[in-house]
């Protein structure tokens, strides 16, 4: 039941000087605050919203600068919770202006009579959790304090403008404006000498319009940004047709999409497309004038791979050069310091062309920093500009600024949020903070927020929170609080997601880098809107996983744990596989299983180009065997790696790990020869092992003919191939065969014991199941043969084997036998390095095309091979760590030297 009822209008409730008592206090009356009020009311909860501004609108109340518009198409940047509201409002433009969006939010406030529960002109200054009453006490700068059961901060991600960092602002005698706090009355710029400081989204929108009015405009730019033309006009017919064709489906697709706008997932990667095809896609995106389009529809690797990204960045720079007539200005406007999309790109109308006007000057602060602002203008270390008006378009203290501005926020045990967040925000789901019961943040740090269409994210957050409050009330709970375990798990998952994208390679407001002294870290959730929604739903469906719930007269409930332990892309892959409802592979029989795997592999994109791919035949133990050789594009001769594919001794062939072989060939700069060894059940034990040994000998003998370096070779293999590689090393040592300088064993089969914990923990649900492994073993060898070191190398003699790197994946039945092998090798005096891939499954590291978080693992494997071959190590930007000067991201693979 509600604690009390808000008596009439909010202002009446504050008259008696007592704290206003409500179930829920909402701070903010923007997009989020308005919908919150509506939902809470519908849930029968009493609520008040406290808003510093004089009216509703939030962002759209404050940002009245010339040219202010949304940059997500307005048909998407709208509420969707009420179909009647949708049909009652028609947007006039593709990207509506600030006044139109503000009118819309006013219309919404009127339609649901929201203003009566909003206290305008009221800033919340502090918040304190009172443990005795289990209520939040909010202090305000205007009128009564507020006491509430739940405190929801809808304070906005971009609502705390960043103060200028330049000396002398106060001495300036002219007019000063901030884009984020633009006056309500008209600002007259005609005939004036105007300076704009800052070229982020607001600056880029404002500059062309200011240039049209001002006598002289000087733009001070520290960091150039990518921008593309909005091509504004009426809402585009194709998008409108999609929306109106089936509104419900369109909205639902948006909710499950990556960015909150329904665009299909792009599958083609850059290297599969010709230059002409890439240019055609790019020109289409350029003409579309849509950020989500260009960020998601060019090629699948543009947001996750430095090379794929560099292609689009260069095409964008080409557009800048083609538009801006002065080459020096064009160069200064061309971003080189961040991948496209890692910093929020902008939509513009005539931005670049504005620099061709005679009254516009660009000052590149990288070359001539501002020394000071004087009474009459701005002085750089090269010149002085006389200025009448300064416009600061310097952005916001994003995501945390407005939250931290309520100071202190004191939680359980008197702990202040600013202390807890001293090293960066920590949240569970971006919604809650451990130690701060009943506090929720809408689109807080750790949620998709600014990386999404925020209208969609706001609705999702609010629905989730409101549904939880209703469920708690029904169950008799009155407090909800995230656990430390859940919060730490979320931080890890956030970091894993950030590793996946290129955001970590840029110093931006996403990472707090625009605010001096702010802790560095990727603040928004980069895993996407749809995955985020499914995680929130999972938390609820698993009994509020990671939350402690208490209430008078009910037993405390705490399902502690981490909601996502898999790497984000592994989670997606496994989710997709589950949805495909595939039959168990072992039920298909050997031929059926091979057909299935072949079809499956055909559907996957080919790997990246290498210098040369040659198919040939070599001599196996009992006859010729096919091989496929991958040669790097670099001048040879190259060291040779003999590679054995995976497939449980039954499936696969010399081509089935093609993307992995290509990737490793490129990364290591070595020849990979993938061997088509014989398969069970037609050729049972020890056929595969003997072929492995024979093939290695043949390749070592023919190294020069194959274009490789003479001398020792290396062996590598994945899964059953790892088993063959390990066995080959033992046979080569015992039989005096090929010289092997190193072995790379990726998730190898090493033993016939099936009771290690990983076999039980990961028996099902991670593609390689226990029952599939049983079938592989049965197909390859009899129970009596299984203890033979030629199939269970862990049982063999391990002294004097080549140095090794053993890779294991956390969610793999074979994990523990891999670890056991590495430990046994080390105990036998073999130099061995273990790479433990956290959050990965058996196929992660070979699924080059889809499991991008496997990149750093493969980079480390390639470096291990280079070490074996005595070559210098390679370090590619964005793969093994962050760019110099940036905080290094956590590694997906925790390498433990043996
Ligand atoms: C110029 C600009 C363009 C944008 N364009 C887009 C776009 O195209 N698409 C998109 O998805 N997003 C866009 N955004 C992001 C935008 O902020 C969100 O889309 C959305 O408006 C946020 O709504 P909100 O209610 O969460 O926060 P806000 O709209 O920021 O509202 C928060 C409110 O809380 C109030 N407040 C904060 N602290 C306190 C306090 N202590 N006491 C009382 N009141 C307080 C503020 O005054 C403010 O009114 C844009 C942002 C800017 C600045």
- Ligand 1 interacting residues, C-beta cut-off 6 A: 27-33, 50-53, 58-59, 61, 63, 68, 70-72, 77, 123-124, 154-159, 202, 402, 405-406, 442-443, 453-455, 458
From 35, 56, 96, 158, mutation site for ligand 1 pocket: most ligand atoms within 8 A of C-beta: 158
- Cα torsion 15, 19, 21, 26 to 10°: value is 90
Measured between alpha carbons, how far is 783 from 626 in angstroms, rounded to an integer? Answer: 30
CA 832-743-863 angle, 5° bins: 75
Measured between alpha carbons, how far is 441 from 439 in angstroms, rounded to an integer? Answer: 7
173, exposed or middle or buried, with CB in 10 Å at 0-12, 13-18, 19+? exposed
pLDDT band at 508 (very low <50, low <70, confident <90, very high): confident
From 30, 206, 451, mutation site for ligand 1 pocket: most ligand atoms within 8 A of C-beta: 30
Question: Ligand 1 mean position to 30 CA, how many Å?
Answer: 6
Confidence (pLDDT) at 564: 97
Peptide linkage before 800 cis (omega within 30 of 0): no
Ligand 1 atom at minimal distance to the Cα of residue 59: 29
Over residues 692-700, the mean pLDDT reads 98
Question: Ligand 1 mean position to 99 CA, how many Å?
Answer: 15
Does the structure show a pLDDT above 60 at 6? no
> Measuring CA to CA, which residue among 103, 346, 96 is closest to residue 232?
96
Confidence (pLDDT) at 587: 96
Does the structure show a pLDDT above 70 at 357? yes
Buried b (16+ CB within 10 A) or exposed e, 321-355: eebbeeeebbebbbbeebbbbbbbbbbbbbbbbbb
Measured between alpha carbons, how far is 71 from 260 in angstroms, rounded to an integer? Answer: 13
Percent of the chain with pLDDT over 90: 88
Q: Would you give the DSSP letter of residue 396?
A: B
Question: Ligand 1 mean position to 179 CA, how many Å?
Answer: 13
Over residues 760-770, the mean pLDDT reads 97
Does the structure show a pLDDT above 70 at 428? yes
The 10s digit of each residue's pLDDT in 145-162 is: 999 999 999 999 999 999
Question: Ligand 1 mean position to 202 CA, how many Å?
Answer: 14
Question: Ligand 1 mean position to 155 CA, how many Å?
Answer: 7
Q: How many residues are there in the chain?
A: 898
Does the structure show a pLDDT above 50 at 30? yes
Ligand 1 atom at minimal distance to the Cα of residue 158: 17
Which residue has its alpha carbon closest to ligand 1 atom 6? 70
Ligand 1 atom at minimal distance to the Cα of residue 452: 11
Whole-prediction pTM:
0.93
Over residues 533-543, the mean pLDDT reads 97
Ligand 1 atom at minimal distance to the Cα of residue 68: 1
Question: Ligand 1 mean position to 58 CA, how many Å?
Answer: 5
Confidence (pLDDT) at 184: 94
Which residue has its alpha carbon closest to ligand 1 atom 14? 70
Question: Ligand 1 mean position to 752 CA, how many Å?
Answer: 60
Three-state SS at 174:
coil
Does the structure show a pLDDT above 80 at 853? yes
Q: How many CB atoms lie within 10 A of CB 848?
A: 22
Confidence (pLDDT) at 895: 31
Question: Ligand 1 mean position to 59 CA, how many Å?
Answer: 4
pLDDT band at 882 (very low <50, low <70, confident <90, very high): very low
Q: Which two tokens stand for residue 779?
A: 């197909």
Average confidence score pLDDT of the chain: 93
Which residue has its alpha carbon closest to ligand 1 atom 34? 28
- Cα torsion 298, 304, 307, 312 to 10°: value is 30
Measured between alpha carbons, how far is 221 from 333 in angstroms, rounded to an integer? Answer: 8
Does the structure show a pLDDT above 50 at 398? yes
448-452, 472-476, 851-855: which has the minimum mean pLDDT? 851-855
Ligand 1 atom at minimal distance to the Cα of residue 65: 1
The 10s digit of each residue's pLDDT in 361-380 is: 999 999 999 999 999 999 99
Measured between alpha carbons, how far is 608 from 858 in angstroms, rounded to an integer? Answer: 14
Question: Ligand 1 mean position to 60 CA, how many Å?
Answer: 7
């Amino acid at each position: 039941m509600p604690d009390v009822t808000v008596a009439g209008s909010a202002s009446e409730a504050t008259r008696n000087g007592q704290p206003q008592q409500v179930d829920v206090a909402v701070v903010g009356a923007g997009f989020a605050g308005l919908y919150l009020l509506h939902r809470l009311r519908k849930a029968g909860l009493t609520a008040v919203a406290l808003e510093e501004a004089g009216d509703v609108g939030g962002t759209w109340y404050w940002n009245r600068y010339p040219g202010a518009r949304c940059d997500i198409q307005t048909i998407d940047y709208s509420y969707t919770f009420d179909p009647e509201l949708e049909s009652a409002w028609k947007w006039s433009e593709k990207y509506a202006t600030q006044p139109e969006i503000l009118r819309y939010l006013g219309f919404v406030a009127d339609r649901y009579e929201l203003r009566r529960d909003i206290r305008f002109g009221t800033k919340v200054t502090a918040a304190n959790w009172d443990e005795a009453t289990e209520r939040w006490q909010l202090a305000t700068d205007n009128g009564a304090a507020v006491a509430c059961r739940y405190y929801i901060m809808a304070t906005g991600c971009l609502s705390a403008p960043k103060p200028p960092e330049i000396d002398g602002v106060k001495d300036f005698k002219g007019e000063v404006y901030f884009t984020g706090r633009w006056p309500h009355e008209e600002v007259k710029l005609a005939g004036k000498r105007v300076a704009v400081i800052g070229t982020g989204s607001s600056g880029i929108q404002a500059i062309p319009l200011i240039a049209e009015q001002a006598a002289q405009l000087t733009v001070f730019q520290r960091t150039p940004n990518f921008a593309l033309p909005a091509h504004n006009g009426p809402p585009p017919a194709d998008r409108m047709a999609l929306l109106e064709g089936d509104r419900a489906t369109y909205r639902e697709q948006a909710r499950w999409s990556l960015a909150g706008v329904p665009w299909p997932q792009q599958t083609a990667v850059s290297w599969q497309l010709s230059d002409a095809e890439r240019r055609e896609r790019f020109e289409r995106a350029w003409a579309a004038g849509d950020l989500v389009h260009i960020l998601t529809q060019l090629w699948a690797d543009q947001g996750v791979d430095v090379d794929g990204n560099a292609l689009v960045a260069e095409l964008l720079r080409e557009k800048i050069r083609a538009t801006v007539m002065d080459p020096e200005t064009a160069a200064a406007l061309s971003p080189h310091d961040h991948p496209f999309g890692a910093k929020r790109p902008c939509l513009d109308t005539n931005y670049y062309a504005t620099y061709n006007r005679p009254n516009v000057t660009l000052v590149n602060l990288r070359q001539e920093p501002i020394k000071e602002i004087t009474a009459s203008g701005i002085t750089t270390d090269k010149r002085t500009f006389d200025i009448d008006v300064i416009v600061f378009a310097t952005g916001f203290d994003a995501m945390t600024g407005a939250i931290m501005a309520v100071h202190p926020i004191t939680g359980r045990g008197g702990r202040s949020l600013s202390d807890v967040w001293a090293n960066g925000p920590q949240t569970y789901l971006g919604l809650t903070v451990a130690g701060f019961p009943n506090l929720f943040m809408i689109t807080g740090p750790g949620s998709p927020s600014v990386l999404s269409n925020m209208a969609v994210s706001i609705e999702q957050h609010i629905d989730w929170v409101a549904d939880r409050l209703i469920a708690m009330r029904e169950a008799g709970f009155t407090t909800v609080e995230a656990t430390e375990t859940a919060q730490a798990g979320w931080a890890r998952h956030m970091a894993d997601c950030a590793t996946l994208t290129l955001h970590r390679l840029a110093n931006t407001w996403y990472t707090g880098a625009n605010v001096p002294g702010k802790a560095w870290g990727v603040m928004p959730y980069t895993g996407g809107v749809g995955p985020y929604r499914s995680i929130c739903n999972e938390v609820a469906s698993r009994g509020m996983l990671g939350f402690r719930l208490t209430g008078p007269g009910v037993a405390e409930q705490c399902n502690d744990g981490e909601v996502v332990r898999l790497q984000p892309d592994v989670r997606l892959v496994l989710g997709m596989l589950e949805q495909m409802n595939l039959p168990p592979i072992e039920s298909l029989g050997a031929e059926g299983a091979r057909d299935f795997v072949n079809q499956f592999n055909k559907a996957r994109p080919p790997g990246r180009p290498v210098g040369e791919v040659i198919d040939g035949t070599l001599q196996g133990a009992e006859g010729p065997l096919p091989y496929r050789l991958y040669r790097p594009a670099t001048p040879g001769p190259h060291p040779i790696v003999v590679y054995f594919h995976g497939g449980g001794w039954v499936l696969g062939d010399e081509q089935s790990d093609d993307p992995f072989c290509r990737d490793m060939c490129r990364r290591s700069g070595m020849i990979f020869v993938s061997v088509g060894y014989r398969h069970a059940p037609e050729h049972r034990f020890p056929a595969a092992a003997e072929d492995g040994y024979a093939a290695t000998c043949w390749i070592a003998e023919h190294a020069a003919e194959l274009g490789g370096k003479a001398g020792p070779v290396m062996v590598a293999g994945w899964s059953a191939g790892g088993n063959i590689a390990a066995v080959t090393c033992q046979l080569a040592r015992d039989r005096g065969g090929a010289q092997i300088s190193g072995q790379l064993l990726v998730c190898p089969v090493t033993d016939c014991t099936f009771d290690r914990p990983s076999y039980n923990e990961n028996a099902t649900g991670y593609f390689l199941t226990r029952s599939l492994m049983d079938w592989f073993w049965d197909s390859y060898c009899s129970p009596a043969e299984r203890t033979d070191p030629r199939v269970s190398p862990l049982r063999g003699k391990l002294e004097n084997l080549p140095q090794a790197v053993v890779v294991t994946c956390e969610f793999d039945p074979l994990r523990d036998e891999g670890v056991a092998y590495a430990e046994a090798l080390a105990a036998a005096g073999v130099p061995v390095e273990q790479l433990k891939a956290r959050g990965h499954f058996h196929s992660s590291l070979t699924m080059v095309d889809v499991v991008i978080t496997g990149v750093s693992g493969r980079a480390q494997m390639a470096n291990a091979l280079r070490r074996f071959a005595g070559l210098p190590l390679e370090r590619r930007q964005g793969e093994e760590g962050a760019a110099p000067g940036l905080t290094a991201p956590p590694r997906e693979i925790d390498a433990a030297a043996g």
